[in-house]
């Protein structure tokens, strides 16, 4: 995982509510045994028509979306399937952070483990972001703040451990492996 401190980018707004992981990447793309190249299938059923051609009216196909690293989603994103292919696809497409009013538990965990920052904001900030697509935001993981173009700082919740892992590019498996003495002790105590 690459260390990440600061995200500075324009936003893309996808205002749909309750965007589930089947929309982020449909199940038919899950027969892969690799995690590479899934960005091509991101939002496949919204992005392409039945002939497989990009739909001009879908926001990710517009020139304004090119290079954007911040996805502002409608209320609640990531519900449904536990497929980690969802954050893999979002990151492969180029996103580094997802903003919504609510982010489903498994999707949130999967995102953090891949260096994709899930940000939950309050209703009024969310409404402002939805109403102003394409604005430039500055997101500091160090300060846990999101800075609007007018200079307003909005703080967001990010647990200390997740922040540490993002800032240092630490992967959790290394940390877990370092706990092996305790794990062994637990297994002995529980005769398992």
DSSP class of residue 133? T
Site string for other proteins, 73-92 (x = CB under 8 A): -xxx--xxxxxx--x-----
Q: Which residue has the tokens 């589930």?
A: 20
Contact positions with other proteins (CB under 8 A) in 114-153: 114
Q: Is 170 in the site for other proteins (CB under 8 A)?
A: no
Instruction: Supply the minimum distance, in Å, between the C-beta of residue 63 and other proteins.
Output: 24
Cβ within 8 Å of residue 28, ≥6 positions away: none
State the Cα angle at 7 between 138 and 21, rounded to 5°: 110
3-state helix, strand, coil in the chain (%, to 5): 40, 20, 40
Looking at 19-27, 59-67, 125-133, 141-149, which segment touches other proteins (CB under 8 A)?
19-27
Tell me the torsion sign for CA atoms 145, 148, 153, 154: negative
Find the binding residues for other proteins in span 24-53 (CB under 8 A).
Answer: 26-28, 30-35, 45, 50
Which C-beta is closer to other proteins: that of 63 or that of 190? Answer: 190
CA distance 21 to 43: 9
Residue count at the site for other proteins (CB under 8 A)?
A: 54
Strand partners, 72: 13, 99
Q: What's the rounded Cα separation, in Å, for the pair 71 and 38?
A: 17
Q: How far is the CB of 143 from other proteins (least distance, A)?
A: 17
Contact (CB, 8 A) for 8 and 138: yes
Among 23, 60, 65, 154, binds other proteins (CB under 8 A): 23
To other proteins, the closest distance from the beta carbon of 9 in angstroms equals: 25
For other proteins, which stretch binds (CB under 8 A), given 60-68, 98-106, 133-141, 142-150? Answer: 98-106
For residue 39, give the DSSP letter.
G
| Site of interaction with other proteins (CB under 8 A) | 15-18, 20, 22-23, 26-28, 30-35, 45, 50, 74-76, 79-84, 87, 102-106, 109-110, 113-114, 159-161, 164, 172-173, 175-177, 179-180, 182-183, 186-187, 190, 192
């Amino acid at each position: 995982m690459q260390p990440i401190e600061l995200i500075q980018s324009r936003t893309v707004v996808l205002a749909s509510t309750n965007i589930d992981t089947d929309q982020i990447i449909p199940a038919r793309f899950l027969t892969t045994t690799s995690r590479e190249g899934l960005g091509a299938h991101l939002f496949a059923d919204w992005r392409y028509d039945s002939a497989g051609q990009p739909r001009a009216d879908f926001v990710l196909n517009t020139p304004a979306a090119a290079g954007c690293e911040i996805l502002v989603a409608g209320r609640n994103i990531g519900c449904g399937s536990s497929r980690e292919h969802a954050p893999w696809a979002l990151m492969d497409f180029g996103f580094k952070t997802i903003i919504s009013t609510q982010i489903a538990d498994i999707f949130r965990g999967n995102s953090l483990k891949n260096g994709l920052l899930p940000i939950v904001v309050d209703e009024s900030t969310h409404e402002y972001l939805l109403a102003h697509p394409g604005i430039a935001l500055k997101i500091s993981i160090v300060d846990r703040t999101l800075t609007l173009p007018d200079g307003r700082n909005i703080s967001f919740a990010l647990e200390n451990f997740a922040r540490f892992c993002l800032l240092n590019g630490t992967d959790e498996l290394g940390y877990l492996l370092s706990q092996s003495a305790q794990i062994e002790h637990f297994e002995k105590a529980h005769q398992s």
